[in-house]
C-alpha cells in the first residue's frame, strides 16, 4: 500500500474517532487539551491484560485517594497493594510505586518515548502510549486491539507472536505525524468496538474499503495465533488460623515473586514450577474446608484449605492477627479472598 493510501487510512480513522470516541475517565476527548500524564500512565498500567470495565472503579478509587503522581509516590506500600487487590498481576503495583517515586524525584514525567522507557515498569507499549496520548509525540502504539486491526487491514498471515515485527512496521506506516495520540486511541477503540475478535462489525468500520482481509471474505480468521500449550496444574494448601472467633492470622508475602508484598493466608510454598510441601505452620489438629481453583498467566492452581482446630498458637511468625469484621480491608489477592470466603462459609454452616 502506498504512502497516499496510508495517509488516507489515518484520515478516515481520525474522522471516525472524532465522532465515535469512547468516553473514558482517563481520556481527553478529541479537540480538547491533552490529559494529565499521570492519569494516562496510571490507566495504561491498570489496563495491561485487564478490561476497561474492570479498571474503571479502580482508577476512580486510586485518583480520588492519590490525585497526583506526587501523592502516590508518598503513599504507604501496604495501602497501595491493598487498593490494588483484585486487579491482578501484582508486579504492576510494585512497579507503579517505584515509577511514581522516580517521577516525583524528577519533578515530572519525561515527555519523550525514550525518557519514559527509562522509568521502572514502562515497556515499549506503555512508553509509546504515554508519549503519544499525553505529550502528542509521534509514537507507534501497538496493543492487542491494534494487532488485530492491523493484521486484518493488511491480511498478515504469519501467526502471532512471530508476526509482531511486521504488524509494528505496518502500524508505523499508517501512524500520522499529527494527532498521533488520537490515532492510537482510535485504533484501540476500533479494535474494542468494531474490529472485535469475534463477529467483527465490518459494515460499521471506517476502514472497510481498505481492509484486505475483508475483501478476502473472512476477516475474523485473523490474526492467526500459535496453538497454546496446556497450562501446568499445581497443587497447594492454605491455612485458616482463627483466634477468639474474631481474628484470622495473615502473613505478608515476600516482596518479589507470586503476589509479592500482598497480605495473604499462610500457605505451603506452592509456586509456578512446583507443588506445595503440604507442611502446616502449626501442629494439628486440622480439618479440610474444601478447595478453590485459580488460573494464573502460566499455570493453574488447586488450593486446598485447612482450618486449624487447636487452641495454641506457639510458633506463628511473620504475620498479624487481622479482625474478621475488617477482612475486606486487608487487600487479599483474589486467590486468597476466594479461600477466605470458603472458610467463612464453612464456619457459617458449622
| 102 belongs to the catalytic site | no
Count how many Cα atoms sit within 13 Å of the Cα of residue 88 in the half-sphere of its side chain. 12
Return d(Cα 174, Cα 50) in angstroms, integer: 27
The single residue of 44, 158, 320, 346 carrying the catalytic annotation is 44
Return phi, psi of residue 151, to 5°: -60, -40
User: Is 198 buried (19+), middle (13-18) or exposed (0-12) by CB count in 10 A?
Assistant: exposed
Q: Give the helix/strand (H/E) hosting 294.
A: strand 286-295
Sequence-distant (≥ 6) Cβ neighbours of residue 102 within 8 angstroms: 119, 120
With b for 16 or more beta-carbon neighbours within 10 A and e for fewer, the 270-298 pattern comes to: beeeebbeeebbbeeebeebebbebebee
Sequence-distant (≥ 6) Cβ neighbours of residue 82 within 8 angstroms: 263, 329, 330, 331
Q: Any idea what the Cα angle at residue 232 is, between residues 51 and 341, rounded to 5°? A: 60
Q: What share of the chain is helix, strand, coil (3-state, %, to 5)?
A: 45, 15, 40
Give residue for cell 469512547. Answer: 22
Return d(Cα 242, Cα 347) in angstroms, integer: 11
Do the beta carbons of residue 59 and residue 25 sit within 8 Å? yes
Give the three cell numbers for residue 77: 506500600
- Give catalytic residues, as residue numbers: 44
Amino acid at each position: 500500500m502506498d504512502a497516499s493510501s496510508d495517509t488516507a487510512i489515518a484520515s478516515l480513522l481520525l474522522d471516525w474517532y472524532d465522532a465515535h470516541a469512547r468516553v473514558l475517565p482517563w481520556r481527553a476527548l478529541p479537540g480538547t487539551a491533552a490529559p494529565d500524564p499521570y492519569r494516562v500512565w496510571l490507566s495504561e498500567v491498570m489496563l495491561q491484560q485487564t478490561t476497561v470495565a474492570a479498571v474503571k472503579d479502580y482508577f476512580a478509587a486510586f485518583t480520588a485517594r492519590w490525585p497526583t503522581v506526587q501523592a502516590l509516590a508518598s503513599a504507604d506500600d501496604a495501602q497501595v497493594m491493598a487498593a490494588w487487590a483484585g486487579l491482578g498481576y501484582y508486579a504492576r503495583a510494585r512497579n507503579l510505586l517505584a515509577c511514581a517515586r522516580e517521577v516525583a524525584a524528577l519533578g515530572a514525567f519525561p515527555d519523550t518515548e525514550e525518557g519514559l522507557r527509562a522509568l521502572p515498569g514502562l515497556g515499549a507499549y506503555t512508553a509509546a502510549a504515554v508519549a503519544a496520548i499525553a505529550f502528542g509525540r509521534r509514537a507507534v502504539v501497538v496493543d492487542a486491539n491494534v494487532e488485530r486491526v492491523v493484521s486484518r487491514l493488511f491480511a498478515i498471515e504469519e501467526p502471532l507472536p512471530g508476526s509482531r515485527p511486521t504488524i509494528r512496521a505496518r502500524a508505523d506506516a499508517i501512524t500520522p505525524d499529527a494527532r498521533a495520540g488520537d490515532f492510537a486511541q482510535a485504533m484501540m477503540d476500533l479494535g474494542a468496538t468494531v474490529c472485535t475478535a469475534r463477529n467483527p462489525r465490518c459494515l460499521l468500520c471506517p476502514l472497510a474499503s481498505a481492509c484486505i482481509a475483508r475483501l478476502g471474505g473472512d476477516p475474523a480468521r485473523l490474526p492467526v495465533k500459535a496453538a497454546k500449550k496446556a497450562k501446568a496444574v499445581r497443587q497447594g494448601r492454605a491455612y485458616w488460623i482463627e483466634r477468639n472467633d474474631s481474628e484470622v492470622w495473615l502473613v505478608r508475602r515476600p516482596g518479589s515473586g507470586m503476589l509479592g508484598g500482598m497480605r495473604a493466608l499462610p500457605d505451603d510454598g506452592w509456586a509456578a514450577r512446583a507443588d506445595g510441601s503440604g507442611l502446616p505452620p502449626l501442629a494439628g489438629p486440622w480439618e479440610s474446608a474444601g478447595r478453590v481453583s485459580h488460573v494464573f498467566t502460566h499455570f493453574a492452581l488447586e488450593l486446598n484449605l485447612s482450618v486449624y482446630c487447636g487452641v495454641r498458637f506457639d510458633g506463628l511468625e511473620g504475620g498479624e492477627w487481622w479482625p474478621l469484621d475488617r477482612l475486606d480491608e486487608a487487600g487479599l489477592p483474589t486467590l486468597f479472598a476466594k479461600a477466605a470466603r470458603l472458610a467463612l462459609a464453612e464456619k457459617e454452616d458449622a
